[in-house]
Amino acid sequence: MKTAPATTTVVDWIKRDFEVINLGIFFDAALDAHPDRIAVIDLSEAEPHQYTYAELESEVRRAALALAAAGVKKRERLIVSIPNGVRFLAAFLGALRIATIPVPINFRLGADQLRSIVRDTGARAIVGSPRLTAACCDIADRLGMEIKLSVDVARPGWIDYRSLSASQPDKRVVEPMAFDDIAFQPYTSGTTGTPKGIALTHGGMIWGIEHSQKYWPLSPSDRVIVAAPMFHKNAMRGSVKPSLRAGASLVIMRSFEARSYMQAIADHKVTSASGVATMFAEILRQTDLLQSLDFSSLKRISMGSAIVPPELIERLERTFKIGVRESFGLTEGGGALRQPLDGRVPPRGSVGLVAPELEVRLVDADGKESDLGECWIRSPYVLKEYVNLPELTRERIVDGWLRTGDMLRRDADGFHYYVTRIDDMFSCGGENIYPKEVENLALKHPDVANAAVAPLKHDTKGLAPAAMIMLKKGKTLSEAELQDFFAHNGPAYAIPRAILFVDAIPLNGAGKVDRPGIRKTLEEKFGMLQSRGIGRA
């Protein structure tokens, strides 16, 4: 693969100059240029293991042939239920190379949601980890899936994937695909309802990778850490693909744990870290490691996938003495808003400007373009369809425009600011409340480490805010003291009428704040809020 000429759009260049379109070979440029450079430092197993680009290529080749030998067919779905690590990468990319459509599954979901997803795919094959993702593998057994491959422990009726893969020749097999052929099928995190299948194309995904490398390139000297789940697009789109495309090195952890994550950054000289805000809020609580470890290699921190409080960014910048970038993107449409190419620093809280070669519009409730409204995106990245949901597809994709369901604001200089999910906003006594605004206000208190706000029923106002609050280590604070802080620093309607102090803000399987779960917990704790009951009316 070459680099797109500055005068050529990425999509035209791909259609014209790529000999083969297949997402499974997206790191060919790095493989050709740096076969002996370290591609992955895999910390997911008991013993760390390094893979060069040539060794990673060999793993993917054998995975592709192993899947084909097991009977996995072209254009059918393959459930991928494997934790972070090279085994996930090899199975995922190997499936793409033989024209199978991998479905990376959030194995942390509840049994009902997992069963619903597996059935929705119509898959007859799974490559999974019975040891670490047992719930999903149990469902595969109960549904009588025909082809079941285990990447770790022996299990009756399952093929030993490791032995099958190891027995394959180091032979490259790549099926040529059309630009609009479906590459893989992730599912939304399900925070607002049943997870939905997202059909993403080979050409669109390659476009996204090449687009990032053209305008915001990584270099081979970069080292990027990944602890967010690789079944989620935050990790794959934001870290894995850009890193491997550029010939950089990935440091992969099985999951996020603040202290081991910080140790890995120091030990492996990581230059770039990304994730959700709750991850970095937890890092800031580890004051002893912040003082004792060497983080001088770290050059970039990027946060996305969920609301990022400005106060958290300020704390991170003070602590690590580097710039922190807030990102905005979604599974269905990628990252349409990016950092300025002219060197300008985005204002605090901004997720950036409209990226080159993309279109973005903000549409108000009357269907008119506005500086405050629902974000619509149009680019080659946008999903092909919502799987098995034709009505939703027609509703959300209009003349190639994706209606994201996210409300954004645009300032006079073209910088965009995330406001809320449209369905998160609620009215309290006639005042529109955005949870993010209340959470940002809570984070201004010097003793608050993190916050999550949800609407609860109120006897006179319809709905009113309640808050789940995580304090900094060693700090104590009463409900009344925090409510007084809100009263002196914000509007009266934003005062949480009930506050629950917790050790950690709950997350869902994709690492986002679990807003439905938080609301349920607060409802069970406080019930209906009263004008003269808990907190303030």
pLDDT single digits (tens) 10-24: 888 777 778 789 999
- Give residue 536's pLDDT band: very low, low, confident or very high (50, 70, 90): very low
Q: What is the model's pLDDT at position 80?
A: 98
pLDDT at 306: 58
The CA distance from 56 to 58, in Å, is 5
Residues 510-524, mean pLDDT to the nearest whole number: 84
Q: How many helices (H) and strands (E) does the chain have?
A: 18, 28
User: What are the phi and psi torsion angles at 47 (to 5°)?
Assistant: -115, 125
SS3 111: helix
Mean pLDDT (whole number) for 341-363:
93
Q: Which sign, positive or negative, has the C-alpha torsion 238, 241, 247, 249?
A: positive
pLDDT at 521: 94
CB 276 within 8 Å of CB 234: yes
How many Cα atoms occupy the beta-carbon half-sphere of 85 within 13 Å? 19
329 has pLDDT over 50: yes
Q: Mean pLDDT in the chain?
A: 91
226 forms beta bridges with 252
**DSSP assignment string, 384-422:** SEETT-HHHHHHHEETTEEEEEEEEEE-TTS-EEEEEET
Question: Is a pLDDT exceeding 70 seen at residue 385?
Answer: yes
Helix/strand/coil (H, E, C) string of 176-232?
CCCCCCEEECCECCCCCCCCCEEEEEHHHHHHHHHHHHHHCCCCCCCEEEECCCCCC
pLDDT per residue as tens digits for the range 131-172: 999 999 999 999 999 999 999 999 999 999 999 999 999 999
Of 3-17, 296-310, 438-452, 473-487, the least confident:
3-17
- Predicted local distance difference test score (pLDDT) of residue 478: 94
- pLDDT above 80 for 34: yes
pLDDT average, residue stretch 161-188 = 96
14 vs 56 pLDDT, higher one: 56
Q: How far apart are CA 246 and CA 230, in angstroms?
A: 18
Rounded to a whole number, what is the distance in angstroms from the first to the last CA of the chain?
63
Confidence of residue 222 (pLDDT cuts 50, 70, 90): very high
Q: What is the CA radius of gyration of the chain?
A: 23
Rounded to 5°, the CA angle 127-258-268 comes to 80
Question: In the numeric block, which tokens belong to residue 530?
Answer: 């009263």
Task: Give SS3 for 456.
Answer: strand
Three-state secondary structure call for residue 134:
helix
Question: Could you give the domains of the chain?
Answer: 426-526 (3.30.300.30)
CA distance 250 to 209: 16
Query: Both tokens of residue 518?
Result: 């938080």
461 has pLDDT over 80:
no
Site of tokens 């969920």: 306
User: What distance in Å separates the CA atoms of residue 39 and residue 245, rounded to the nearest whole number?
Assistant: 10
pLDDT at 14: 77
Sheet strands (E) in 195-256: 198-201, 223-226, 249-252
Q: Is the pLDDT of residue 79 over 90?
A: yes
- Checking phi first, is residue 247 left (phi over 0); if not, alpha (psi -120 to 50) or beta? left
The rounded distance, in Å, linking the Cα atoms of 336 and 358 is: 7
- Interhelix angle 202-215/10-17, nearest 10 degrees: 120
State pLDDT tens for residues 283-309. Answer: 999 999 999 999 999 999 998 755 667
Give pTM, 2 decimals.
0.83
